[in-house]
Amino acid sequence: MSTTSRNPRFAIAHMIIDALLIAVYVVMSTYLTIPLGALKITLEALPVVICAVILTPVDAILVGFLGEFLNQMLSPYGLTPTTMLWIAPIVARAAVIGLFCLALRKKHGPRFLSVGKNAVWFSVVCVVAAIVHSCLNTFAYYVDSKMFGYYTYYAVFGVFWIRIAGSVVSAIIMALATMPLVNALGKAGVVR
């Protein structure tokens, strides 16, 4: 899909794809996440990663922001003073991956993931973005726990390296899953 086109049909297509990816994000974060205390096993960021590849960084940030906002509103926590801190990690991940994909798209065209080493660099950027996500998530957890009086060192920082390791593994899985998904969407004519 051309991101430089001013055609209103493309704007509507972007909105539809964004809405679908937001819905997928909410479903994945609600039903396909395994919470393990301070840890969670999830691939909820996959729709954001796909959006960053097929659309623009702005679309990816929007999908991450609205998806996590809806996830927060549908969770038992609802709207709290720290809601934006919990949203910031996925927005940062969307920005990092989205800006990288934008640079590759400008250099290699819309099929940039199929160009040589770009797939490897894409995987590396997904891992870096996941580490940024985990660090910001730990910060949000720290502030939230201090603000609401449930802070313990172990819960916030004691499992930090386990969180990082889990993030790296999930980022690699998402990067490897994104490439064939985007190629399939291209062959189906959903994206150009």
Percent of the residues in the chain that have a pLDDT greater than 90, as a whole number: 61
The tens digit of pLDDT for each residue in 19-69 reads 999 999 999 998 888 877 667 788 899 999 999 999 999 999 999 999 999
> Which distant-in-sequence residues (6+ apart) come within 8 Å of 161 by Cβ?
none
**Predicted TM-score (pTM) of this structure:** 0.89
Tokens of 11: 């704007």
Q: Which CATH number fits domain 8-187: 1.10.10.10, 3.50.50.60, 2.30.30.60, 1.10.1760.20?
A: 1.10.1760.20
